[in-house]
Chains A and B, each alone.
Chain A
């Protein structure tokens, strides 16, 4: 007898021949939820000539591998149509997506076209009897909602970093079921024309031992020299969260976070950064993080080792002075 109806599906994200690290976080949590629901954990992998990737998904009971040249490059339309067709046939209980560039697009499309509920930005998932209860993060982490989902099939997007990836790793080889695409992919209304690599040339923030990171709290471009001076005294570089980059105050190469760089410096000083998950994704593995933010509830303090709940403009001048006093003046 098929236990479908209680299965948990994880959409496997991959780019340039590698499974996204976040997918293993989903698989680890999916393993636990599938157990609680009494269903199977199924990894859904779509692409072209990426079958070897299935070998890394051994935590799942099975891998549905859809092979089609039309799926070689990710498009929300192509991958979304395949997922929908498979889900309409197999009726999983839960579909897990990353709250990522690909996952957000897919979850929104699949849930709307199938008429099933979606909860976004989940950081906890619990099974209570036959109910799926999730905690959804809102307002840049300042608000959490405990949400009960209704319906036989539910889609969730899960925040990167919400669950450990170790539980999603396994040496075992999963059962792989290879399928042809259940839908025709020759008339997609979109096509990938090329991949654009990040611009090179500027400072490589992934190599800097110390990063002084600025966020919205920097307020004005005129205040950037303060961060620059601090970075200079610490032997590091200045980087930023998205709002600063969007203002055009620093080049894209300095962006840390979901669509920017992932950095692991020895010391990360977060100035006026609230700590939205988009940013945290890029810096959570820093060896030492000190955060300065005027809001004591800012989510950055959940990530930082040390916190200063104060206005950075009160702290920075004296911090700069302290550091200057220690730096031997050139003789």
Chain B
């Protein structure tokens, strides 16, 4: 089975987010990017499918932030090929535009299965995977926790619902699946293997095709929520705060 995994880079939330002077974008100067969490799971899911059923895995990313690092990591983890789409504006692309760019590239020689994270933390004007399926006219299921390929020409996915419930859905290929999580945590590769991939493997580059997207939503302003709008914040040393917590619990009869 030929699988393409779409990887997107998102702001690293460990860093404090700063809003640009324009007020409508993040200040990218100090922003670090890392691989979107559910894309990481999508890659793991693709590698699991390849190990079980054979085939090829191509990792594809828009050139943004540390995309190259993510692509070399994908190669080190077991992807057969990595493709970087260049010519992306520095501020990145909206999700609809990103879906249109991936769609224009993938339309040329469609794979059997396209996997991508179901969502990313910087989604605002859509979710890439679902939008891509809509644009390509392919069947789509998102929010999956496992994807298997029991027979030719189809995949069997588990789609999550609230309360721990899931639906098992058989999907005809070609298809797009929006992965929430893989059945196992994304595999770890040591830095040495990534360094080796940098030396021995290549990322193919191609110019992102220009695409027309309908006028999307317009950001008027970005802002941070006020901290602690509800909680009463406790103060003091750890010992003092621990005592306060115990007092609260006592007053509610939760400890003796």
Contacts and interface: CB of A to CB of B under 8 A. Distances in A.
A247 B251 CA distance: 36
B233 A301 contact: yes
What 9 pairs across the A-B complex have the smallest Cβ distances? A108-B130, A112-B134, A198-B164, A307-B231, A259-B160, A189-B139, A319-B242, A301-B228, A189-B172
B198 to A, nearest CB: 27
A198 B134 CA distance: 31
A267 interface: yes
A165 interface: no
12 contacts: A102-B161, A108-B140, A112-B96, A112-B133, A139-B122, A192-B168, A246-B181, A301-B233, A302-B229, A306-B231, A308-B234, A318-B242
Contacts of B141: 75-76, 105, 190
Interface residues of A, number: 99
A15 B162 CA distance: 10
Contact of A297 (B41, B132, B137, B227): B227
B99 interface: yes
Nearest to B119: A104
A146 B223 contact: yes
A129 to B, nearest CB: 14
B167 A74 contact: yes
B164 A253 contact: yes
A87 interface: no
A322 B184 CA distance: 38
Q: Helix, strand, loop or mixed for chain A's interface?
A: mixed
B152 interface: no
A209 B216 CA distance: 47
B246 interface: yes
Interface of A: 15, 20, 73-77, 100-102, 104-105, 107-113, 115-121, 133-134, 136, 138-151, 188-199, 210, 234, 242-243, 246-248, 252-253, 255, 258-262, 266-267, 274, 281, 288, 290-291, 296-297, 299, 301-310, 314-315, 317-319, 321-323, 326
Interface residues of B, number: 86
B206 interface: no
B219 interface: yes
A307 B217 contact: no
A255 B124 contact: no
B108 interface: no
B125 A196 contact: no
Nearest to A20: B162
A22 B174 CA distance: 33
A112 to B, nearest CB: 3
B25 to A, nearest CB: 10
Contacts of A321: 242
A112 B131 contact: yes
Given A77-B140, A112-B126, A190-B170, A261 B164 contact: yes
B254 interface: yes
B65 interface: no
Nearest to B232: A306
Contacts of A195: 165-168
Nearest to A122: B124
Contact of B127 (A104, A116, A302): A104
Nearest to B10: A139
A309 B236 CA distance: 10
Given A105-B140, A315-B238, A322-B242, A151 B124 contact: no
B230 A115 contact: no
B84 to A, nearest CB: 24
Contacts of A105: 130, 140-143, 178
B225 interface: yes
Contacts of A247: 185
Nearest to B128: A108
B52 interface: no
B246 A326 contact: yes
A253 B164 CA distance: 7
Given A101-B159, A119-B125, A308-B233, A318 B239 contact: yes
Nearest to B220: A146
B211 interface: no
Given A144-B223, A323-B246, 18 more contacts: A76-B140, A108-B127, A108-B133, A118-B217, A120-B124, A120-B126, A138-B121, A148-B217, A189-B171, A197-B164, A198-B164, A259-B143, A259-B145, A262-B163, A267-B252, A267-B254, A296-B228, A304-B230
